[in-house]
Amino acid sequence: MAAAKETHYVYADGSCLGNPGPGGWAAVIVKPGGVSNTIFGGDPATTNNRMELTAAIEGLRIIPNGTRVVLRTDSQYVVKTMTLGWKRKQNIDLWEKLDHEAAQREVRFEWVEGHAGDPLNEEADRNARNAAMTAAKGGRVHYHGLSIVGGAGTAPASEDYGADNNSVRELRPLLAADEAIRRCVGCGRAYVGPVGDAPPYCALASCQLKSRRAAHTKER
Ligand SMILES: [Zn+2]
């Protein structure tokens, strides 16, 4: 098959207030068309690793089977266990779930440095921490499909362009028929690109560099 498969990007992150303690997880998903969604949830008594794993599981779960997925997380625990076969001693229930979801898609696990300025990683982190704080207060944190229900306070609409949501709302009616608003997986900003499944990177040189590096490693 010559046509490139559409790629979904998942930024997954977990957070725990104390370890163990109340925790939250979140996943920012950028679909092939460049639209992003955020999902999150919380647990009043959990561990950091369980939240990291849950973020990856839930992030994958809402992506259609058979698709190509790049899953980015700052958890070495998740990436190295999945890519280097680190021995599994705990959380066997969650590893089984992650295996199950990963087996149904073509998933590439990539490690990103946490708190290092990757905007979508930071957005996932922010949502996970909000969900953990809601869980700590005994709040119910919960999502249903792509529409978000919950008390974490930063719940984005089902179409989410982060800090650019207001500009996107004003820009949308001004677009030409062959233009679409997308979310760049390099810098996290909304940009105007072509309709279709072009890689979701904006035209900034730094993001084009990331895009070309990503395409290069994909060829292996
Ligand atoms: Zn960009």
The model's pTM: 0.85
Neighbours of 207 (CB within 10 A): 20
Domain boundaries, the chain: 7-162
Q: pLDDT, tens digit, for every residue of 116-153?
A: 888 999 999 999 999 999 888 876 665 543 333 333 33
* Given 8, 13, 59, 162, the catalytic residue: 13
Active site residue 13: yes
Active site residue 85: no
Domain 7-162 fold is Nucleotidyltransferase; domain 5 (3.30.420)
* Given 8, 42, 52, 122, the catalytic residue: 52
- Quote the ligand 1 centre to 212 CA distance (angstroms): 12
For the chain, report the end-to-end CA distance as a whole number of angstroms. Answer: 17
Active site residue 125: yes
* Given 101, 118, 123, 125, the catalytic residue: 125
Q: pLDDT, tens digit, for every residue of 16-69?
A: 999 999 999 999 999 888 888 888 998 888 999 999 999 999 999 989 999 999
